[in-house]
Structure 1
Amino acid sequence: MAEEKLLRQAVWQCYQAEVTDQISVSNLQVTANAGVDVWGRKKPQPALLTVTVSLPQPFSSAAEGDVVDSSTVHYGRLSKSAISSVEKAGPSWLSSMDLAQLIEGAASATASSVSLAACEVDVFYPKGSMLGDGAGLTYSKAYGDNTISRVLYLKNVRVPCIIGVNSHERLMKQPVVASLWIDCLARDQTDEYIKVEQMLIKTIEESSFETLESLATTVVARLMDGFVRSISPGANVRLRVTKPMAVPFADAPAIEIFRAFKP
C-alpha cells in the first residue's frame, strides 16, 4: 500500500475539484469511547459524526431510474455503518484519529460496490471545550493518490479581555469569540484540543490590545511557539476572532488569519 501523503486541507480540497457527486450524513449522534473530555480524561463522551463520500462519476443511473442502485451510496446504510462501527469498537479507548479512520473504513466498506474518489469524516465533541461550542477533528482521504488531511479545531471559544480603541473599551473586559484550526497536525496529537484551548484562553485573557489584528497575530504566534514548533512541527494555524459587542447593528466584526509553519 502506498504511503499516505499529508496535505493542507485547502490543497486536498483543490485536488478533489473534479469530483462530481457527493453523499453525506451530518451530525450522527453517538457515545464514543474516544478522544478526551474537557478535563483531559479518557472517558466515554457524546460525539457528532459527519461522513461525506465523493464519487468520481455522476450517479446517473440512480437519477434516471429514480432508484438507489450501484451508481450511488445508500445514505441510510452509510449512517448505520458509521454508528455500528463505533458500537463495535468496544470498551477500548480510541484516539480521535483512530475513531475517524474506523468510520472511514466502515464508509468505504458500505460503498464497496461504488468506486469512491474520497471520504471525509468529521468527529465533533460538543463537550470537548470548556468555554466554546466544542472541539473536533476532520480527517479526509483521497483513494486515488492516497492523499490525506488532518485538521484539529476549536469552535467558538468565548473569552473576555480588554480589546478596542475607544476609551470606554479600555475600562471593561468584553467577550471575543475565537475559532481555531490546526492543519497538517501530527497523527499522535489529534487529542490535544484541551491543551490548545488552554493556551488560546490564557493568551487572550492576559492581552490588552486595541485591535483584533494584533490580538489574532499574537495568539497564533504563541500557538506556533508553544504547540506547533515543539509538539506538532509542520502544522499550520488558522484563527478567526470576532468581537460581538463592537458593532450594535451587526453580528460582529471579524479577523481571520492563516500562518504556515516555518522551521
Structure 2
Amino acid sequence: MPSTVVRSDVWQARLAEQGTSDRISVRNLQILLSAGVDAWGREKQQPVLVTITLHLKKPFDSAAEADALDSSTVHYGKLSKSILERLRANDSHVTTLALTGQVAQVSADMADNALRALTAEVFYPKGSMLGDGAGWSWSYYHLEKSFSKVLHLRNVRVPCLIGVNANERLQKQPLIINLWIECAKDHRCDQYPALEGVLVKAVSDSSFETLESLLTFVVLELREKFFTKDDEGSYIRLRVEKPMAVPLADAPVIEILRPVIPEHRGAGNN
C-alpha cells in the first residue's frame, strides 16, 4: 500500500476507526540544539521541546496485571533517555525535518512490535517573534501507511483594527492567532519565520468589522505571498481569538480550514 499524506483530523479519524488504542506519551522533553531556525531565520542553537506519542497495537493489560513493564508497553524513562542521546549525537546543524525523523526512528525502535502509530513533534519556543513558538509534527499510522505533517505557529499576538462597535473603530486591539499548515510540504519545515511575517503584516494592516472577513482575507494573502503551486495538497487551518470582545468570556473564537490551492483549481488530499 503506497503512503499518503492526509490532514491531522483525517489521520486521527482513520486511527480511531480501528478501535481504541492505549497510548504512551512524553511531553516537552527539553534539549538545547542547533536545529531549525530562530525567529530571525538564523541557524542557531536554541531550546527545543520534543513530544512523542506512541499508539499501541494492544492494551497493556499484561503489564498492568503483573505491575511490571513488559513487551506490551514502553518504558518512558528509557525512551526519553534514548531520544536525548540520539539528538545530542548531532555534531552539526540539523533541520526540523531531520530532527523529527530522528525522534520518530528512536521511538519506533524502542516500541518495536507493540507500535500501531506514532506522532513526533518538535517545538521551538524561540521560533516566533510575536507568539509562543513554532512547531512541526509528523505522524505515521502503520496499518494504512498514512502520514500527517503539520507546521504550526502558536498564539501569535497581533493588534489590528477589528470590530463593528464605534469604539472598536478608534483603536487597534489584540488578536491571538494560531496557524496550522496541514499536509505541509517537507521543504516548508523551517520556513515559519517567513510564514509569520506574511501573517502578521496581513492582520496588522487590515481593517475589518468581522473576524470572518479577516480570516478569509488572511488566507488570500497567504496564498498570494507565501505559497506557490508546489504547495498543492496542503491546507491552511486558521484560528483567531478576540480576547477583548466579550467581557464575561475569555474570547470569541473563529476557525476556518481552506486548501492552499482553491478547490476549483484542483486542490488535492482529504
TM-score (normalised: structure 2): 0.93
Could you say what the CA RMSD is over the residues aligned between the two structures, in angstroms? 1.3
Which position in structure 1 is the counterpart of 2:226? 227
* Contact kept in structure 2, 1:68 and 1:74, CA below 8 Å: yes
1:8 CA displacement: 1.2
The percentage of aligned residue pairs carrying the same residue is: 48
1:136-215 equivalent positions in 2, closer than 5 A? 136-215=135-214
**How far is the alpha carbon of 1:231 from its aligned partner?**
5.2
Question: Which stretch of the first structure deviates more once superposed, 142-151 or 60-69?
Answer: 142-151
1:178 is displaced (CA, Å) by: 0.5
Deviation at 1:3, TM superposition (A): 4.9
Deviation at 1:14, TM superposition (A): 1.1
Is 2:116 aligned against 1:117? Answer: yes
Structure 1, gaps ≥5 residues long = none
| 8 Å Cα contact 1:228-1:235 kept in structure 2 | no
Greater mean deviation of Cα atoms: 220-229 or 78-87: 220-229
The whole-number CA distance in structure 2 between the counterparts of 1:167 and 1:63 is 61
Secondary structure, aligned partner of 1:67: coil
Give, in whole Å, the separation in 2 of the partners of 1:183 and 1:254. Answer: 20
Secondary structure of 2:154's counterpart equals strand
Q: Which structure 2 segments of 5+ residues have no match?
A: 266-270
Which structure 2 residues correspond to residues 9-28 of structure 1 after superposition, within 5 A? 9-17=8-16, 18-28=19-29
Note if contact 1:186-1:233 (Cα within 8 Å) is conserved in structure 2. no
- Match of 2:54? 53
How many positions carry a matched residue from both structures? 260
* Structure 2 residue identity aligned to 1:90: D
Letter in 2 for 1:134: G
Runs of 4 or more above 6 Å deviation: none
Give the AA of the match of 1:109. Answer: D
CA distance in 2, matches of 1:56, 1:111: 10
Q: Deviations over 1:122-163 (max 9, x none)?
A: 111001000000000010011223211100000010011110
* Structure-1-length-normalised TM-score: 0.95
Q: Is the 8 A contact 2:71 2:114 kept in 1?
A: no
CA distance in structure 2 between the aligned counterparts of 1:233 and 1:52, rounded to whole angstroms: 28
Distance 2:155 2:51 in 1: 19
The answer for the alignment partner of 1:249 in structure 2 is: 248
Cα displacement string for residues 237-261 of structure 1 (whole angstroms, at most 9, x for unaligned residues): 0100011111112111111111123
Paired amino acid for 1:96: T
* Residue aligned with 1:228, SS: coil
Whole-angstrom distance in 2 between the partners of 1:61 and 1:115: 13
Which amino acid letter does the alignment assign opposite residue 127 of structure 1? K
